[in-house]
Structure 1
Amino acid sequence: MTLSVSPTAEGRATVVIYSGGMDSFTVLHRALREGLKVYALSFDYGQRHARELEVAARVCRTLGVPHQVVDIRAIHGLIDASALTDASRELPEADYAAANLQDTVVPNRNMILLSLAIAKAVNIGTGRVDYGAHGGDHVLYPDCRPEFVERMNAVAGIANFEAVTIHAPYLRSTKAEILADGLAMGLDYADTWTCYRGEALACGRCGSCRERLAAFAANGARDPLAYATEVA
């Protein structure tokens, strides 16, 4: 169902944590459909798939959305126990499962990013931060679970003189449901990057690629991205 612009949103704004991936791409457009002034915020934390930042910058230029990339690579040594931030580690090439999940966990990532986004919101006088945690991630990553979002939301309400609300519109949705919403909005997912490898083409083998491809298959749609590995 296509989202309409809310007349009550006039003059309001939000900070969207925008990685350049499918979920945050959909969240960004959903906020725009609400009629909100959107400030996109991306983070360079030394991720191997930094290509997502290039995609995010391109989308924001096209949309005319203010976009800030925050360089937090100085904390890399604190969060490098992950295949996403340590190039010497082998990236898992299979569906997400207990055996390979731990290799893709970046310690405390969402708490760090949300804290900085909340600071940005307070600094520019907005009362909301949007991010793309979703139901499919609940069994995978602790910092995408409803309990985490609810408690971060409580902290965001008291951490500053101005309360900030954390808005996670897809918190109880699957990736396939997020994609369905975006397709209904007419979004072009060629303007996203999901692969954990920052190469010219998406690999089609890592857990992130496989989850993305499964979402397209569930919607009876073809992924517009080119893949190094032939996909059905």
Structure 2
Amino acid sequence: MLQDDTSLNKTALIGSGGLDSVCLAYRLAAKGKLAMFISFDYGQRHKKELHFARQCADALGVPFFLADISTIGGQLTGSALTDKNVAVPDGHYAEATMKQTIVPNRNAIFLAIAFGIAAAHELDSVAIAVHSGDHFVYPDCRPDFLALFNQMETKSLEGAVRLYAPYVDKNKAAIVADGVKYKVPFAATWSCYKGEEKHCGRCGTCVERREAFYLAGVADPTLYADPDFWLTCIESEQ
């Protein structure tokens, strides 16, 4: 698994249209290494993120591919992201309730598809924007999982495609700082799991987003329905 981009050439990015993946897209594009933007419709509640994914690919002038796996997502029940019977929990990512947002095997599914597409298009890497803040909640965002997945694909594709995860040991504030460096239009990203008109400001990913801008010392252009809820969450974690 790569965390340094010096050996990359042509990269397929797994992108949701969220803050992290858009920042990584701009980083790769600035270095002339972004070849394709791959997004997934897995029946997610916040499907509006896909609009921002396509918008990012268009802005950077790279091909956009939307993989429709919504029929698979429909079988991944029990998650607040794919099951309308499960409410999206409010609060900080460090709270145990955030595990309700786990979609079983999601990154393994995304990565397997992306590696196949990258190999078919003769690209040399697949990029994913997971970061250290994901580790507590999501097992398939942790360094050991990514290293083993990369090892598996090395066997499957005989080393033709490698995994690039530059943020895996960094927090979201560092990603915001990276976004500033590469002139990311932060307002043109979507994080909220509820997928309503505005970011709710209350779900785990909204709270994390709000906190990241604060810790990075960067003005947050996001419109939140509840812009101050994050402060309550941060205070409760201290």
Q: Do these two structures clear the TM 0.5 threshold for a shared fold by scoring above it?
A: yes
**Aligned pair partner of 2:227 in 223, 227, 230:** 230
Aligned residue number for residue 155 of structure 1: 152
Aligned residue number for residue 79 of structure 1: 76
Alignment of 1:42-61 (within 5 A): 42-61=39-58
Aligned residue number for residue 111 of structure 2: 114
Distance in 2 (CA, whole Å) between partners of 1:115 and 1:82 is 21
**Aligned pair partner of 2:194 in 184, 197, 200:** 197
Q: Secondary structure at the match of 2:17?
A: coil
Conserved? CA contact 2:25–2:34, under 8 Å: no
Q: 2:131 matched to 1:134?
A: yes
Aligned residue number for residue 28 of structure 1: 25
Distance in 1 (CA, whole Å) between partners of 2:219 and 2:82 is 30
The one-letter code of the counterpart of 1:133 is V
Q: Secondary structure at the match of 2:156?
A: coil
Q: Do the aligned partners of residues 39 and 106 (structure 1) sit closer, same or farther apart at CA in structure 2, a change above 3 Å counting? A: same
**Aligned pair partner of 1:185 in 179, 182, 185:** 182
The one-letter code of the counterpart of 1:196 is Y
Aligned residue number for residue 98 of structure 2: 101
Deviations 1:129-178 (A, max 9, x none): 00011111112211111100100110111112452100001110000111
**Aligned pair partner of 1:214 in 211, 219, 228:** 211
Conserved? CA contact 2:94–2:136, under 8 Å: no
Conserved? CA contact 1:26–1:182, under 8 Å: yes
Give 1:97 deviation, angstroms.
3.5
TM-score (norm 1): 0.92
Conserved? CA contact 2:78–2:86, under 8 Å: no
Deviations 1:195-228 (A, max 9, x none): 0011111100001000000001102222111111
Distance in 2 (CA, whole Å) between partners of 1:164 and 1:191 is 30
Conserved? CA contact 1:28–1:38, under 8 Å: no
Q: Secondary structure at the match of 1:78?
A: coil
Distance in 2 (CA, whole Å) between partners of 1:182 and 1:230 is 21
Q: Do the aligned partners of residues 37 and 212 (structure 1) sit closer, same or farther apart at CA in structure 2, a change above 3 Å counting? A: closer
Give 1:78 deviation, angstroms.
2.8
Aligned residue number for residue 41 of structure 1: 38
Q: Secondary structure at the match of 2:155?
A: coil
Conserved? CA contact 1:122–1:162, under 8 Å: no
Aligned residue number for residue 88 of structure 1: 85
Aligned residue number for residue 123 of structure 1: 120
Distance in 2 (CA, whole Å) between partners of 1:201 and 1:60 is 22
Unaligned runs of 5+ in 1: none
Q: Secondary structure at the match of 1:47?
A: coil
The one-letter code of the counterpart of 2:151 is A
Conserved? CA contact 2:30–2:182, under 8 Å: no
Instruction: Give the paired residue count.
Output: 225
Give 1:186 deviation, angstroms.
2.0
Unaligned runs of 5+ in 2: 232-238
Q: Percent identity?
A: 41
